[in-house]
């Protein structure tokens, strides 16, 4: 691949938009409102629609309600009306007339332009004027045709616009950029790859997307055209290439060789009051195999709520401590970190493993004691939130990093924690079932273990959508469960009342719930409480001293109270399906029949009802996650910006799942054949990897 050509292309794409002929500083400011700063931004402002102007009709073929293109002559032009003047042009051909009307015009300019007898090509929305009994076009687009000139119809792009910028002007600027691109004549993907996939060149793909000459507009609209598919594939391909490079280099890293049959591991396994499921045993062996190998572990442990991931992670921690190493476990919320810490205290502390909690809620003295013990090696295991990756946190001998609910953290946060040790093993856990397309994108550099089996005795949770008018009936059912010795949760979407969101809040409703369920002990739990208070309430709930817990979503993950059998969720339509599934997973953890009641407030919409029906129909977390992804899209599905997803401009993770798989296979095969991308034909790929911000993968191989 010609290096000069690639360089010229990249320089051209980086050119500030104001230097495109006909733009200038003033128009550049207007274009900036559309997010266009460079030529590349302009070229990838893809049409939102196409106007099919290929068929030139005669006037008698025009029908009200259609967008029509017709050839005619100017028959007459005049101003009508006095209070609100209208400029009216009568267009005529051998088959009839159409009136063109303008409400905003300059009279002298229009009279000079629309001289009777001039030939015109007119396009616009055809309407029927019932008062004048004729067809008309309001503010039509008109091209003037010279005598004897043959006019061909064509397909025109329709772009998103901003104030001060019209379609014609934006099309003209786009045409100029495409002309300039044609002159550059460069391509960064190997021609062999283009041929194999049936993709056009960079220039041809963009030209055809903006001004289709060969392609049907419908194929461009539904993203079936090879011209659009090229860029969908490309976006996935470069991201997967970076993952493949990273995975290849991590696999070669010399890691810690752990002793996987040490005394603490054996003692923990023997002390468990239950038998591991076959799925737990299989994933544990995969993890131990990684830990015993000379290469650093980089593994994702995925499984539905309640499948028993945490105990597998605790067993891995015992392996690390047996070998003289420390463990750091990071969770996205303080309450989840606290739950993990309580679990460690119950399972690991009796083995002589020293555990601590590190969250922002600690006092300065407590924090300093934890930091000192980590630095000296006195502490074996620490559970915490983002506090674990702060600069002043140092470990004496960090050997294993465990990250829970990884999708809530970014890739950089994962890397920051790993950097606190000498190539420690990494175990990433998620109880949120991640659809395959997202898993390939978020975790494409990890080996995957799945716990796809529930522990014996776990009860299926019966789920029902209930309405406001059934509230008393629902309360009576909860009272019956409490009377039978069980416990329950009622979860609210907000802590406080909100003027914008007409939803029940936990602070508003708690006194009413406490009164409605007297004499049972009702307690309140939410994220703004102190750590000590949250820990005390959870301990009392687990011990059965609290019967009903009124809470926000802080109990979404990590809470294990086998005696709790009812989960009532207020304002259920406001939650994502995956979050509802997580909340539902807090019940059904013991041997008693369990229930999840989804209270929909203020008559949910048709879409909300359909979503909640999915919860009634299935407890399969992966099916729920797929539905959630379709409904909300990747960004909202994952919640937060730190999800680690790249900003795809053309590709869509839901619609283009098959192309993602194809791009992944191609990327990994290419890295297998050329692990350092040294082949001259891959020069363009290297440059574009850097350009797209995936240079970290290249830094790994360049440093090797």
Q: How many CB atoms lie within 10 A of CB 198?
A: 9
443 and 481, same domain (yes or no): no
* Mean pLDDT along residues 152-174: 90
273 and 367, same domain (yes or no): yes
Q: What is the CATH number of the domain that holds 614?
A: 3.40.50.300
472 and 604, same domain (yes or no): yes
> Tokens 């095969």 label which residue?
669
Residue 678 lies in a domain: no
So what's the pLDDT on residue 690?
84
Q: How many domains does the chain have?
A: 4
Residue 59 lies in a domain: yes
410 and 508, same domain (yes or no): no
So what's the pLDDT on residue 620?
79
With cut-offs at 50, 70 and 90, classify the pLDDT of residue 78: very high
Q: In what order do the strands lie in the sheet with 447-451?
A: 355-358, 381-384, 326-330, 398-404, 425-430, 298-303, 447-451
Q: What is the CATH number of the domain that holds 179?
A: 1.10.150.20
46 and 62, same domain (yes or no): no
* Dist CA 304 CA 285 (whole Å): 19
| Token pair for 665 | 């296979």
| Token pair for 153 | 């119809």
For 226-267, how does the pLDDT look when each residue is reduced to its tens digit (9 = 90+)? 999 999 999 999 988 888 887 777 666 678 899 899 999 999
Residue 636 lies in a domain: no
Q: Is residue 341 within 8 Å of residue 355, measured between CB atoms?
A: yes
Mind giving me the DSSP string for 311-375? HHHHHHHHHHHHTT-EEEEE-SSHHHHHHHHHHHHHHTGGGT--EEEE-TTS-HHHHHHHHHHHH
122 and 88, same domain (yes or no): yes
* Dist CA 367 CA 377 (whole Å): 15
Q: How many CB atoms lie within 10 A of CB 377?
A: 14
- Residue after which a domain boundary falls, among 402, 423, 451: 451
Q: Is residue 50 within 8 Å of residue 216, measured between CB atoms?
A: no
168 and 129, same domain (yes or no): no
280 and 415, same domain (yes or no): yes
C-alpha angle 298-303-304 in degrees, rounded to nearest 5: 155
23 and 63, same domain (yes or no): no
Q: What is the CATH number of the domain that holds 67?
A: 2.40.50.140
Residue 350 lies in a domain: yes
| CB-based burial, 48-76: b 16+ in 10 Å, e otherwise | eebbebeebbebeebeeeeebbbbbebbe
CA atoms within 13 A on the CB side of 278: 2
So what's the pLDDT on residue 560?
77
74 and 17, same domain (yes or no): no
Q: Is residue 138 within 8 Å of residue 147, measured between CB atoms?
A: no
Q: Residue 461 above 50 pLDDT?
A: yes
Q: Residue 43 above 60 pLDDT?
A: yes
Residue 234 lies in a domain: no
* Dist CA 493 CA 578 (whole Å): 14
For 370-417, how does the pLDDT look when each residue is reduced to its tens digit (9 = 90+)? 999 999 999 999 999 888 888 889 999 999 999 987 555 555 566 677
Domain enclosing residue 144, as ranges: 55-152
So what's the pLDDT on residue 497?
60
Residue 321 lies in a domain: yes
524 and 606, same domain (yes or no): yes
With cut-offs at 50, 70 and 90, classify the pLDDT of residue 214: confident
* Mean pLDDT along residues 13-24: 94
Residue 699 lies in a domain: no
Q: Residue 695 above 60 pLDDT?
A: no
> Tokens 């025109």 label which residue?
156
| Token pair for 285 | 């062996």
289 and 428, same domain (yes or no): yes
């Amino acid at each position: 691949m010609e290096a000069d050509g690639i360089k010229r292309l990249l320089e051209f794409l980086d050119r500030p938009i104001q230097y495109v002929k006909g733009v200038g500083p003033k128009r550049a400011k207007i274009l900036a409102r559309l997010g266009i700063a460079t030529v590349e931004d302009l070229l990838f402002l893809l049409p939102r629609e196409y106007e099919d102007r290929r068929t030139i009709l005669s006037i008698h073929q025009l029908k009200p309600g259609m967008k029509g293109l017709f050839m005619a002559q100017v028959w007459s032009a005049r101003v009508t009306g006095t209070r609100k003047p209208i400029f009216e042009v009568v267009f005529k051909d051998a088959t009839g007339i159409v009136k063109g009307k303008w409400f905003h015009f300059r009279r002298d300019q229009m009279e000079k332009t629309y001289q009777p007898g001039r030939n015109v090509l007119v396009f616009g929305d055809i309407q029927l004027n019932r008062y004048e009994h004729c067809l008309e076009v309001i503010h039509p687009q008109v091209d003037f045709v010279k005598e004897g000139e043959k006019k061909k119809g064509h397909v025109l792009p329709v772009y998103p616009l901003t104030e001060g910028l019209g379609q014609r002007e934006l099309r003209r600027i786009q045409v100029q950029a495409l002309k300039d691109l044609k002159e550059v004549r460069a391509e960064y993907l190997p021609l062999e790859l283009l041929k194999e996939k049936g993709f056009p060149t960079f220039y041809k793909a963009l030209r055809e997307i903006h001004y289709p000459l060969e392609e049907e507009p419908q194929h461009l609209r539904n993203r079936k055209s090879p011209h659009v598919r090229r860029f969908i594939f490309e976006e996935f391909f470069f991201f997967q290439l970076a993952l493949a490079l990273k995975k290849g280099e991590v696999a070669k890293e010399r890691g810690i060789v752990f002793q996987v049959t040490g005394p603490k591991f054996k003692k923990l396994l023997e002390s468990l009051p239950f038998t591991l499921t076959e799925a737990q045993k299989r994933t544990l062996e995969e993890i131990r195999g990684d830990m015993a190998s000379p290469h650093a572990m980089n593994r994702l442990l995925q499984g539905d709520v309640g499948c028993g991931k945490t105990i597998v992670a605790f067993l891995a921690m015992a392996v690390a401590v047996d070998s003289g190493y420390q463990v750091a476990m990071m969770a996205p919320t303080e309450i989840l970190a606290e739950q993990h810490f309580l679990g460690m205290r119950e399972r690991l502390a009796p083995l002589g493993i020293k555990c601590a909690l590190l969250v922002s809620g600690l006092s300065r003295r407590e924090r300093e004691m934890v930091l000192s013990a980590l630095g000296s090696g006195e502490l074996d295991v620490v559970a915490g939130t983002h506090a674990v990756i702060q600069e002043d946190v140092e470990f004496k001998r960090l050997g294993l990093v465990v990250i829970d609910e990884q999708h809530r953290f970014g890739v950089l946060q994962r890397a920051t924690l790993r950097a606190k040790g000498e190539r420690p093993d990494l175990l990433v856990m998620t109880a949120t079932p991640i659809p395959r397309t997202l898993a390939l994108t978020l975790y494409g550099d990890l080996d995957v273990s799945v716990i796809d089996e529930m522990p014996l005795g776990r009860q299926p949770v019966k789920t029902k959508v209930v309405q406001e008018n059934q509230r008393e009936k629902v309360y009576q059912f909860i009272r019956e469960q409490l009377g039978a010795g069980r416990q329950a949760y009622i979860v609210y979407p907000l802590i406080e009342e909100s003027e914008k969101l007409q939803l029940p809040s936990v602070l508003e409703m708690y006194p009413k719930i406490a009164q409605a369920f007297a004499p049972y002990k009702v307690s309140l739990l939410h994220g703004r409480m102190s750590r000590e208070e949250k820990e005390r309430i959870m301990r009392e709930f687990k011990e059965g001293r609290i019967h009903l817990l009124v809470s926000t979503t802080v109990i979404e993950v990590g809470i294990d109270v086998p005696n709790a059998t009812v989960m009532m969720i207020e304002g259920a339509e406001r939650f994502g399906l995956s979050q509802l599934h997580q909340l539902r997973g807090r019940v059904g953890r013991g041997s008693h029949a369990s229930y999840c009641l989804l209270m929909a407030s203020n008559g949910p919409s048709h879409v909300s009802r359909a979503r909640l029906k999915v919860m009634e129909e299935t407890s399969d977390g992966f099916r729920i996650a797929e539905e959630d992804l379709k409904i909300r899209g990747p960004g909202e599905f994952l919640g937060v910006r730190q999800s680690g997803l790249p900003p795809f401009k053309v590709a869509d993770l839901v619609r283009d799942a098959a192309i993602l798989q194809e791009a992944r296979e191609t990327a990994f095969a290419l890295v297998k054949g050329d692990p350092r991308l040294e082949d001259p034909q891959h020069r363009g790929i290297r440059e574009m990897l850097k350009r797209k911000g995936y240079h970290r993968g290249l830094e790994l191989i360049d440093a090797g």
